[in-house]
Structure 1
Amino acid sequence: MLRNRFDAASTALAACAGCALIVPGAAMGQSCSTGSTPPEKGAWGELKPLKITSQPPGLTCQMQAIHGAVLRSGKVILAGLMDDVGDCVPDVVILDPLTEVCKNVGWPFPNTLDDHVLFCGAQSAMTDGRILWVGGGARAVVSSGRDCPGTDQTTIYDPANTFTDGQGNWGTGQWIVGPPEIWPMDPNNPLGSLRQTRRWYPTMTMLGDGRFLILDGACECVGCGDQNPINCNPEDDGYPFCNGNPRIPVILDTSAGSVSQWAFTPLYDAHYCYPHAGLPCPVGPTAPPASPNPPCPTGGVPASPFDLAYYPFVFTLSDAKIYVPSSPYGTIAGNVGRKLHDKSGTWITQNVPTPPIIGGAAVLFGRDRIMLAGGPTQNCAENCGVHGPDTSLPDNRVYVLENAATATSWTQKAAMNHRRWHFYLTAMPDGTVLACGGTSAEQLPPDYPPTTTQPAEYQFPDCYRPSAVLEAESFNPATNEWCRMASMAVPRQYHSAVLLLQDGSVLAAGGQVADANDPIWRINNQWTYQIYKPPYFFQGARPLIQSAPEQVVYGDSFIVVPDASVESITRVRLIRLGSVTHSINFDQRMLELDFAPRPNGLQVIAPSSGNEAPPGYYMLFICTGPNGSIPSVAKFIQLIPAT
């Protein structure tokens, strides 16, 4: 590993006599092509069943991907739902995109007291490349008939043996039991107020120092009885969960060597809740005890008046603050941008911009540069998309926040060609942003609304097949245009996964589709995946990385050796491995790195700190062409702090 410290890009330039430091900036771009061939639109590969390659005799083991994460081995771990034919339950699989081999991993610790159902939880890559899973479901509670109660469990997936050896063999990793989320609700009564915190639809984000921030989700305070109606009392399952577990952000420190030493630290001063219907919203340790089950409060000092709702968008910024612009499952009234100062544990709202839209997907695609696009235009919960004649359709507007650490307003960009909800935004190695999947909710079935009483998941038409948006589109920041790309074969709407792969292609899997089966709905889970190859796959030779370090220290410069002339490289981009579910990517961010040509390769300058790029594994791309439009296959590198 190259360990020449550089305090600034100018120092690196001075060290390279005769070299010109290339600092990415504004660039000219080309308008969208009117062609329809792969060099202009890219191409989707063959539709493949997502089933394990070595099937048990007489069984069909396939799954619907709802959660997905790219591993440092290049494989993809996918978690989801079992096949409804009941043959097999491969609820977690590993897919090798190169060979298309898929292996069954199974739920962590099945049929034991430690069983952890990952469905509708959150997952994020740790600094060492292991995957941390928080929240989700629990079989014991799910089987009782209550829907989506959440769990206090954490589980770690170790992919160390998933690398392919010289004979083409690779393993399926290892599960490790993590600590349950238990912490005192009242800091003045730490032993008497310990409670389990069950989470369903939470967001988890890595901070610049490698710790994790865990936010929101349907939290259930186990043991709080009548004072905690969340997912216990069906009559009070709506927002804003005022009378349940205090809505308090939690920091999880995983730096200790043993998982038994990991610690949850609640940020008590950052408690929040959005009052509705004129009701007070008191939460947190300042509320007085409630009888007969303290410390769950029913009175006291009101919380900060806002609600983050399910799966809020959360971004770690270069100034170490955490920005929460909105939630795709939030409300218009509760859509207030805010920042969290994790050191003081307080919320900041002054001069913090609120986006003009709720947003259906978001992505960080530059230093403190955030895009928010599409999404609902009415107050929604999980089943947003029940659009009748007098309600609005999903949005197609797009906003970008430049320099989110200091900016006070969002800038409107060109609108997408399609209205989208339940879709993904993916930062691409050519500097563009890909919008993929989703629904326009523009078509209603002939029998809508349903004539029979059914659960909501059998009614809402946001997964209605004719409303699916099959055409992908790509945003070019240089021209402020959304270019129409190739269309996928099947819908990828609610409960799907979209991930950038090492070679620059994009995996799309899972999703639910509703068909009009008079007089009731039926949900058809998508047991397939498809891989999209963008136009740069078809535009001539791509550069190759011959060598690059496996680890890089923040602020260091390091050497990357390309197969082509160093003068032909126009961009160097760093993209964190993605981790997705429910239209949110907990991990992905893209940065453009400063670099200079050297006689022995490219001298590249690493991000200055973990606030710019949290520690862990990234894909490093070198790019040729205007604006770096032709990227290489990525090299995995690990960003680490100085020791």
Structure 2
Amino acid sequence: MTPNRPTPSRRRVRRIAVTTAVVLALAGANGPWLYRFGSEKYHAYTIDRPAYKAENGRWDVVEFPEGYRQNTIHAALLRTGKVLLIAGSGNDRKNFDARRFDTRVWDPVKGTVKKVPTPSDLFCTGHTQLADGNLLIAGGTQRYEKLKGDVTKAGGLMVVHNENPDKPMTIEAGTRFTGRANGKTFVAQDSVLVPRAKKRFDRGTGRFLGNDAGLGRVYVEAERRGARHETGAEDNYRIQGLKGADARNTYGIAQKLALDKRDFQGIRDAYEFDPVAERYIKVDPMREARWYPTLTTLSDGKVLAVSGLDEVGQLVPGKNEVYDPRTRKWTYTAKERQFPTYPALFLMQNGKLFYSGSNAGYGPADVGRDPGVWDVRTDTFTKIPGMRDADRLETSGTVLLPPAQDEKYLVIGGGGVGESRASTERTRLVDLSSRTPRFTDGPSLGRGTRYPQSSVLPDDTVLVSGGSEDYRGRSGSDILEARLYDPDTNAFRRVADPLVGRNYHSGSILLPDGRVMFFGSDPLFADRADSRPGVFEQRVEIYTPPYLYRGEQPVVEDGPDTVRRGGSATFRSPDAGRLATARLVRPSASTHVTDVDQRSIALELERTAGGVTVTVPGNRNLVQPGWYMLFFTDRDGVPSTARWVKVP
């Protein structure tokens, strides 16, 4: 008897049933993957819809060719429209030991990347835009830190005294110092120039009173390893190799020299970067070695260098100095004032400096951290009250809100001193145009945020993105969120989420086409369990704001390359009828959540036949000399591509 065979329809039903069972079984085992796959596909579809981009913008990742990648620590927009990306040794001791220092020039329009010879380790330098379009760069790394367990030779600060008023003394690296009481020998790790002594006279009679020794500072280490070479007290040290009067006049004095932790040590080197030749130009070194300094333009166009760790890893004790771009030389300020490293210092319209309290870390918890207004000329400092979470200003960001004429600042997030786990979700506002300025709370970030990146946009909003809840992204705490802040409504609006986490050693730069680039990120660990060392983020990310998806950018054509302070300039435009605002935006120089250069200045705008005329404010402290991006925006907030103009 022939067995019953399934009809084609029954076979099809059976195949469908078997297939369904297999799919359900796979779904049971791999449900999260299937859900994630479907979710990612739907998410990709959603964020690519024109309506979504017009409301939230879009993020794209740029990955340089392998041989051109680097650990970018600093970035600055050049007047050529290209971006200078500086790594130095890139927080990589292997690079430092090999004297391998990196700089790149990236063209975001053409997509080209160029390597630039880097003369010193400009890792953790300071920088600012100069009036002629060059970038001033000062400071960097002399030596990497060592944790206490890694220190094998006793060492520390040796202060070299020169009592000879007739000549300075040069102490070369490798010079040996032997204690007169302890008999222990230490070796200078660097060269140091010790100035001649100054003769001291009685002001009334003119009688000679004696000499004040010239002082030099040098880092020394014991000749041999081990705790038995530590010293416990101050001693006077003779300098081997000196004879006669030089031996009598020149000596060292050191306190305890021990196996303690060694902080990073700074250099005095200073350079100008020429954006046309795309090369570094060496200028006179600073008076003080600095690692983690801030450079801020003053009302006379000179540049103030503040704070930093010196050549022996100690916080520069309030010795601030000024660079003159005309002579390319440095001079000390008359008074001393101490700040923690990378303090956020902004030039105000009255010529004084506003210190928001934002900083990047090193320094005592109770010195120089109060926000206020500093008159450099008289060295008076007026504290500003009302700051909430004042003990969590380290790794906070500060931005001068647009338009800059209003002199309102937003302080964003921040954390506790050092490796503290504390962070704050607060933002704080201050209006310096008020007769009695006081901080008030702005909108919340929703969670504690260290290292927030912020960029002023041509439509007068501020893009705030990234950061992490914990120190250097510890415990997988990077924040993949972005917001637009509206100064008119004092409110945030969530926009598209970034694709890449950004914490320590990261920043953002507004580009001339209205997009924003993000660079860097140096997490301490690579996983939530903090079990694997972090990997430096070498990818660049570009955010295209919503306004670039709302229609064609207005076109602005012929016009002058120079606009004078207090004067007017006319530009031809076929879209003159739709132009509503004009802004001068100073190009950024960003590092360590510090960008004191960026500012957006409102210009008066008048439509003319076939174009527009803009008038520039006359205040030199508001409109500092230099190159600017001139943006025009239409009634919908869509900006033109910026024109580069110079304000002499």
Paired with 1:175 and 1:469, the residues of 2 have a C-alpha distance of 36
Letter of the 1:325 counterpart:
S
1:402 pairs with 2:419? no
Deviations 1:132-158 (A, max 9, x none): 101111368799995420111101111
Paired with 1:252 and 1:491, the residues of 2 have a C-alpha distance of 36
Which residue of the partner structure matches residue 545 of structure 1?
556
User: What displacement does 1:198 show?
Assistant: 0.6
1:324 pairs with 2:363? no
Deviations 1:513-532 (A, max 9, x none): 32249785412011111111
Q: Is the 8 A contact 2:89 2:122 kept in 1?
A: no
Query: Higher relative CO (CA 8 A, sep ≥ 6), structure 1 or 2?
Result: 1
Please give the residue correspondences for 1:264-275 in structure 2 after superposition, counting only pairs within 5 Å: 264-269=330-335, 271-273=336-338
Deviations 1:365-388 (A, max 9, x none): 222221111111x3x13xx3x42x
Task: Pick closer, same or farther for the CA change 1:199–1:538 going to 2, 3 Å.
Answer: same
Q: Which has the higher helix share?
A: 2
- The SS at the match of 1:592 is strand
Which residue of the partner structure matches residue 278 of structure 1?
none
Q: Is the 8 A contact 1:426 1:433 kept in 2?
A: yes
Deviations 1:103-142 (A, max 9, x none): 111312xxxxxxx211101111111111110111136879
Deviations 1:249-304 (A, max 9, x none): 22211123xx3xx2x232233x235xxxxxxxxxxxxxxxxxxxxxxxxxxxxxxx
Task: Pick closer, same or farther for the CA change 1:517–1:402 going to 2, 3 Å.
Answer: closer
Letter of the 1:203 counterpart:
T
Letter of the 1:70 counterpart:
L
Please give the residue correspondences for 1:295-374 in structure 2 after superposition, counting only pairs within 5 Å: 308-329=339-360, 333-334=366-367, 335-342=369-376, 344-349=377-382, 352-353=384-385, 355-356=387-388, 357=390, 358-359=392-393, 360-365=396-401, 366-367=404-405, 368-374=407-413
1:249 pairs with 2:278? no
Q: Is the 8 A contact 1:325 1:355 kept in 2?
A: no
Q: Is the 8 A contact 1:90 1:104 kept in 2?
A: no
Q: 1:66 aligns with which of 55, 73, 84?
A: 73
1:611 pairs with 2:637? no
Which residue of the partner structure matches residue 39 of structure 1?
54
Task: Pick closer, same or farther for the CA change 1:405–1:607 going to 2, 3 Å.
Answer: farther
Please give the residue correspondences for 1:63-462 in structure 2 after superposition, counting only pairs within 5 Å: 63-80=70-87, 89=100, 91-108=102-119, 116-138=120-142, 147-161=263-277, 173-182=278-287, 197-220=288-311, 230-231=312-313, 241=315, 245-256=316-327, 259=328, 262=329, 264-269=330-335, 271-273=336-338, 308-329=339-360, 333-334=366-367, 335-342=369-376, 344-349=377-382, 352-353=384-385, 355-356=387-388, 357=390, 358-359=392-393, 360-365=396-401, 366-367=404-405, 368-376=407-415, 378=416, 380-381=417-418, 384=419, 386-387=420-421, 392=422, 394-404=423-433, 406-441=435-470, 461-462=471-472
User: What displacement does 1:97 show?
Assistant: 0.5
Q: Is the 8 A contact 1:362 1:371 kept in 2?
A: yes
Paired with 2:107 and 2:220, the residues of 1 have a C-alpha distance of 33
Paired with 1:102 and 1:88, the residues of 2 have a C-alpha distance of 22
Q: Is the 8 A contact 1:557 1:606 kept in 2?
A: yes
Deviations 1:214-253 (A, max 9, x none): 1111234xxxxxxxxx52xxxxx6xxx4xxx541322211
Paired with 2:563 and 2:271, the residues of 1 have a C-alpha distance of 28
Please give the residue correspondences for 1:557-568 in structure 2 after superposition, counting only pairs within 5 Å: 557-566=568-577, 568=578
Please give the residue correspondences for 1:436-515 in structure 2 after superposition, counting only pairs within 5 Å: 436-441=465-470, 461-464=471-474, 466-513=476-523, 514-515=525-526
Letter of the 1:118 counterpart:
L
Task: Pick closer, same or farther for the CA change 1:395–1:36 going to 2, 3 Å.
Answer: farther
Letter of the 2:121 counterpart:
V
Farther-moved stretch of structure 1 (96-105 vs 601-610) = 601-610
User: What displacement does 1:411 show?
Assistant: 3.1
- The SS at the match of 2:141 is coil
Task: Pick closer, same or farther for the CA change 1:355–1:637 going to 2, 3 Å.
Answer: farther
Give structure 2 stretches of 5+ with no counterpart. 1-48, 144-188, 191-218, 222-260
Deviations 1:182-240 (A, max 9, x none): 2xxxxxxxxxxxxxx110111101123211011111234xxxxxxxxx52xxxxx6xxx
Task: Pick closer, same or farther for the CA change 1:407–1:332 going to 2, 3 Å.
Answer: farther
Q: Percent identity?
A: 26
Which residue of the partner structure matches residue 602 of structure 2?
592
Give structure 1 stretches of 5+ with no counterpart. 1-33, 53-59, 109-115, 162-172, 183-196, 221-229, 232-236, 274-307, 442-460
Letter of the 2:387 counterpart:
P
User: What displacement does 1:347 show?
Assistant: 2.0
Q: Is the 8 A contact 1:509 1:529 kept in 2?
A: yes
Which residue of the partner structure matches residue 21 of structure 2?
none
Deviations 1:479-503 (A, max 9, x none): 2221111122221110113111000
Q: Is the 8 A contact 1:417 1:482 kept in 2?
A: no
User: What displacement does 1:562 show?
Assistant: 2.5
Which residue of the partner structure matches residue 452 of structure 1?
none
User: What displacement does 1:338 show?
Assistant: 2.8
Give TM-score scaled by structure 2 length: 0.68
Letter of the 1:337 counterpart:
P
User: What displacement does 1:332 show?
Assistant: 6.8
Which residue of the partner structure matches residue 62 of structure 2?
48
Which residue of the partner structure matches residue 611 of structure 2?
601
User: What displacement does 1:578 show?
Assistant: 0.3
- The SS at the match of 2:476 is helix
Report the structure number with the largest CA radius of gyration: 2
Letter of the 1:536 counterpart:
Y
Q: Is the 8 A contact 1:50 1:63 kept in 2?
A: no
Task: Pick closer, same or farther for the CA change 1:82–1:411 going to 2, 3 Å.
Answer: same
- The SS at the match of 1:198 is coil
Q: Is the 8 A contact 2:457 2:510 kept in 1?
A: yes
Q: Is the 8 A contact 2:472 2:522 kept in 1?
A: no
Paired with 1:518 and 1:375, the residues of 2 have a C-alpha distance of 23
User: What displacement does 1:341 show?
Assistant: 2.3
Letter of the 2:644 counterpart:
F
Which residue of the partner structure matches residue 639 of structure 1?
647
Letter of the 1:265 counterpart:
T
Q: Is the 8 A contact 2:88 2:121 kept in 1?
A: no
User: What displacement does 1:346 show?
Assistant: 1.3
Letter of the 1:371 counterpart:
L
- The SS at the match of 1:523 is coil
User: What displacement does 1:463 show?
Assistant: 2.1
